[in-house]
Structure 1
Amino acid sequence: MSRSRLGSAAKTGSPPGTRPGLALAALAGAQFVVTLSTSVVNVALPAIRDGIGLTGSGLSWVVNAYGLAFGALLLLGGRAADLLGRRRVLLAGLALFAAASFGAGLATAPWTLLTARTLQGVGAAAVAPAALSLVMRLFPPGPRRGGALGVWGAVSGAGGAAGVLAGGVLTESLGWPWVFHAAGLGAAVVLAATVALVPAVAPASREARRTLDIFGALAVTAGLVALVHGLTTARSAGWGAPPVLGSLAVAAALLVLFVLIERRHREPLVPPRLFARGPVAPANLVMALLGAVWVGLFFFLPLHQQQVLGAGPLEAGVSQLPLAFANMIGSWAAPRLARRLGPHLTLAAGLLAQSAGLLWLTRISARGSFLGDLLGPSVLIGLGLGIAFVQLTAAAVSGVRPEDTGLAGGLVNTTRQIGGAVGLAVLTTLAASATSAAGPHQPHAVALTEGYRIAFLVSAAIAAAGAALTPLLARRRSGHTEPPASNLPPRTFRHTTRSTR
């Protein structure tokens, strides 16, 4: 190998012969496919109901089966990536995701579709943390990592908006099965690109493999499934319904059991050292709040456009493009702003921009229009979302040991998913209450708009609360850490130590 190639590899921290830019493209493609599949079915749900014979309650599980498996298994997927090999787990996850996607498109009965959607979530739970961990290993702290995380944030935010657009286009042109077939084809392409472009990174030692916390993984997975099940069921059954209370009680018991197992295990699934270093704990807290705003936004915006403004699925999907483009611009700008303003001020600015945009949305009208009511707030929210996501991702994986990067990536994705589930359950309940209160005195479209206004108002408060918590990320604790994750060496999400200088 030439000296220039060796020098390039040394500068990037990548194995000799690796092309980090092409590897990043493949890994970002994996994240895009996973994120897109979270929202791609939303506008196709009526067609799926008619085509496969699902009931109203069964239809909700087309979304929930994927989200439950994805959110609950992310921690296990991240730990498996660290201990078994990141590239190996990524390839296995992509293969399972592709097969499950094709199976969902070929489904002829409700149970086969829901089973396939669950397996999609299992595959996604392996893909997301393994891909992020490989990005962190291929791009060492510094400007190149900042740029890589900017790309990561752009595709993550754009995936949610692109899912709504792709769902509308595919459903109206080729039929609902192609919503799933397209995801399978995308995963297959990313799988081939990963084989060709992404190098292997050595897993943890064999000793660590022998101490994999299986019982802890089972307890936390079952606990999170019960928690999200209870929260999602509460939307239709009510918070006092026995199934809801039972699920929440089981969730509490299992999560307590998980804590007890973790305290006794030699190598716990979530080691306490993960939270003792750098800004990991506060970053995950703020990411949970961001997840609540994120999921709620993509839930209520299409509903307002279709149920109030009368837009069709395709029109509602196309209208997400300005938000998606703004998100990509924000993700691109995040590391550059961090260089000038510092990461904490940049994060606060991103969250406050979202809060301002959501407050702007509280002025929507039942007789409004996309250009008059939604375009401006969507652009402002998209910019803030991209900036905040990149900064929080950097913070949540900085300062951790190299062998824990997959776990840290799984944790930050878990908090975003669970935060989204909790937030959406609360927002939909508040919106429904406001709609019911306005219903007897107003036309249905006006009553719905009142509910959406309340949802956007509470979302604005959540984003502002996240901005108020950003000083916690600046707290520094002693101990050995990885160098900074931002592209600004002296001012970043980390803590200092005299012993390592």
Structure 2
Amino acid sequence: MRPTLSDATPLTGTTSSTRRRFAALVLLCFASFMMILDSEIVILALPSIQNDLGLDPSAAQWILTANAITFGGLLLLGGRAADLLGRRRVFMWGMALFLITSLVSGIAWSGEVIIVARALHGVSSAMLVPSALSILMNTFREGKERNRAIASWSAVGGVGATAGLLLGGTITTGLGWQWVFLVNVPVVALVMLISPFVLDESWDRNRVRNFDIAGAVTITVAATALVYAISNGPALGWGSAPIIALFAAAILLLGAFVVIEARSAAPLVPLRFLRLHTVKSGNLLMVVVAMIVWGASVLFSLYTQQVLGYSAVMSGFATSVMPVAAVFGAYIGQAFITKRGFRVVAGIGLLGFGVCCLLLSRIPVEGQYFRDLFVALGLFGLSLGVAHTTASIVALTAVPEPESGLASGLSTASFQVGGAIGVALVTTVSVTVSRGSTALPDLTKGFQAAFIALVCAAIVGLVIALTLPRKAVAQAG
């Protein structure tokens, strides 16, 4: 069943429609830039927030954890809401909540207030990301045209991450941590003002707007339990009662979700959708890519700061070559997909990850930036751009338009879950090998072993890459 689009701009044809689509892409990428910038800056501002609000380390960590849990847990619901209620409408609601939570975070007078605000910020992100990506899918024709748009979307992630690393310390030191949040307010307001003029509304008018409440509650609680268990497993112990209980609850709830969806007249996630080859393989690849990216990013930060003695700001500058290289990798990846198909390009990206992590598994205690890190970080960034763009394109290929919001939410959820697994993996391996020692040789051995674990993950990714379609589907454009 094809959706009926309201106020839709033709995908091809007039110069004015081309300009409008370009304006829509710029706006969507800018919104993505703001969300990623916000996430990166908050990490760097966390010590200042902790000191000013008098939070102990465990409470301060909840500023990040609360956001991650609500974001990861609500992505599928946010994507389906965009399909049923209107993609532009849900995008605007998400931007409005983003504005409110930024304002409240900036004027927060206690730790409890900022933690609640960041949890609500996760809700806004769960509305914004899938709705924005599904608008992009419905604005650009599948194939070369959409591949370029997705490459731009992925490249903006690298730019946002770089800007966060470079600006976070500067804003916090110069203006105070409050401005990390307050700077969002006028920018988000401007995006909300422009959005109705450049974004088209779309939804499936032929489908009854009936939410699968049972399915939504089940998958949200399951995803929340899974993300929380993975994120806290290294700290609490994988064999601890709370972690085992959370994993058991997640498994039981996922099983219940499948049963509910099979019997529902209007399922949140139709099981036929999950049987699409591109959806299955693309999201599996996205999980592995996220594992490697998040895991390596944590190791870069820990090694430069704990072993080489860099400050947080200096570490941000040192690793900024990675997201900059990812911008180039994204555009290289989409160009080769058009010519060579999914399988070859994904294989190149995962091979690059494996080689890079193998090089980094030899990092010395007395490392030098240009000798031991610079080339590896650049290669890692190129591989990131290629692999993430490929996984995104595959996961969104051959998806029916009425399911585009759901597909976008699932792709983003796969990245979040994979990232949590990657962080847990490198943390567990490094702490186990170093035996909790803070001596620099022991810390370095732990980081080396963690990079070897990521090499193994890259090998798994290569196997998944072999299951991808040899040629990209519908390369019109």
TM-score normalised by structure 2 residue count: 0.93
1:455 aligns with 2:450: yes
Distance 2:110 2:93 in 1: 26
Q: 1:299 to 1:40 in 2, by over 3 A?
A: farther
Q: Which residue of 2 aligns with 1:204?
A: 204
RMSD: 2.2
CA deviation vs aligned residue, 1:117-168 (integer Å, no higher than 9, x gap): 0011100001111111111111112322121111011012333343333322
Q: 1:190 to 1:352 in 2, by over 3 A?
A: farther
Distance 2:209 2:14 in 1: 25
CA deviation vs aligned residue, 1:156-203 (integer Å, no higher than 9, x gap): 2333343333322222222222222234444333333323322222x1
Distance 1:44 1:103 in 2: 16
Question: Is the contact between residue 102 and residue 180 of structure 1 (CA under 8 Å) also seen in structure 2?
Answer: yes
Q: Which residue of 2 aligns with 1:293?
A: 292
Question: Is the contact between residue 32 and residue 156 of structure 1 (CA under 8 Å) also seen in structure 2?
Answer: yes
Q: 1:12 to 1:68 in 2, by over 3 A?
A: farther
Q: Where do 1:58-97 residues align within 5 Å?
A: 58-97=59-98
Matched AA of 1:466: G
Q: Which residue of 2 aligns with 1:410?
A: 409
Of 331-340 and 75-84, deviating more is: 331-340
Q: 1:13 to 1:313 in 2, by over 3 A?
A: farther
Question: Is the contact between residue 14 and residue 137 of structure 1 (CA under 8 Å) also seen in structure 2?
Answer: no
Distance 1:198 1:243 in 2: 45
Q: How many residues align?
A: 469
Q: Which runs of 5+ in 1 are unaligned?
A: 1-7, 477-482, 491-501
Distance 1:473 1:145 in 2: 19
Matched AA of 1:24: L
CA deviation vs aligned residue, 1:311-352 (integer Å, no higher than 9, x gap): 112211222321121000001111212233322101110111
Q: 1:419 to 1:15 in 2, by over 3 A?
A: farther
Matched AA of 1:28: C
Q: 1:82 to 1:15 in 2, by over 3 A?
A: farther
Q: 1:405 to 1:418 in 2, by over 3 A?
A: same
CA deviation vs aligned residue, 1:348-376 (integer Å, no higher than 9, x gap): 10111111111111121221122222111
1:471 aligns with 2:466: yes
Question: Is the contact between residue 223 and residue 252 of structure 1 (CA under 8 Å) also seen in structure 2?
Answer: yes
Q: Which residue of 2 aligns with 1:396?
A: 395
CA deviation vs aligned residue, 1:416-448 (integer Å, no higher than 9, x gap): 1011112211221111111217x3xxx722222
Q: Which residue of 2 aligns with 1:367?
A: 366
Q: Where do 1:473-488 residues align within 5 Å?
A: 473-474=468-469, 484=473, 488=475
Q: 1:232 to 1:142 in 2, by over 3 A?
A: closer
Matched AA of 1:177: Q
Distance 2:281 2:190 in 1: 36
Q: Tell me the secondary structure at the aligned position of residue 12 of structure 2.
A: helix
Question: Is the contact between residue 166 and residue 317 of structure 1 (CA under 8 Å) also seen in structure 2?
Answer: no
Question: Is the contact between residue 14 and residue 138 of structure 1 (CA under 8 Å) also seen in structure 2?
Answer: no
Distance 2:288 2:149 in 1: 24
Question: Is the contact between residue 342 and residue 470 of structure 2 (CA under 8 Å) also seen in structure 1?
Answer: no
Q: 1:264 to 1:300 in 2, by over 3 A?
A: same
Of 119-128 and 36-45, deviating more is: 36-45
Matched AA of 1:435: S
Q: Which residue of 2 aligns with 1:281?
A: 280
Question: Is the contact between residue 357 and residue 377 of structure 1 (CA under 8 Å) also seen in structure 2?
Answer: yes
Q: 1:240 to 1:13 in 2, by over 3 A?
A: farther
Q: 1:281 to 1:238 in 2, by over 3 A?
A: same
Q: Which residue of 1 aligns with 2:426?
A: 427
1:53 aligns with 2:54: yes
Q: Tell me the secondary structure at the aligned position of residue 467 of structure 2.
A: helix
Q: 1:426 to 1:17 in 2, by over 3 A?
A: closer
Matched AA of 1:53: G
Q: 1:192 to 1:355 in 2, by over 3 A?
A: farther
Q: Which residue of 2 aligns with 1:20?
A: 21
Moved segments of 4+, more than 4 Å: 12-18
Question: Is the contact between residue 329 and residue 386 of structure 1 (CA under 8 Å) also seen in structure 2?
Answer: yes
Distance 2:300 2:398 in 1: 37
1:302 aligns with 2:297: no
Distance 1:122 1:410 in 2: 13
Distance 2:187 2:302 in 1: 27
Q: Tell me the secondary structure at the aligned position of residue 41 of structure 1.
A: helix
Q: 1:15 to 1:228 in 2, by over 3 A?
A: farther
Matched AA of 2:40: S
Q: Which residue of 1 aligns with 2:123?
A: 122
Q: Where do 1:320-359 residues align within 5 Å?
A: 320-359=319-358
Distance 1:296 1:166 in 2: 23
Matched AA of 1:391: T
Q: 1:148 to 1:38 in 2, by over 3 A?
A: same
Identity score, percent: 34
1:384 aligns with 2:370: no
Of 336-345 and 68-77, deviating more is: 336-345
Distance 1:60 1:13 in 2: 51
TM superposition shift of 1:64: 1.0
TM superposition shift of 1:277: 2.7
Distance 1:223 1:407 in 2: 17
Distance 1:183 1:355 in 2: 37
Q: Which residue of 2 aligns with 1:497?
A: none
Distance 1:184 1:295 in 2: 28
TM-score normalised by structure 1 residue count: 0.89
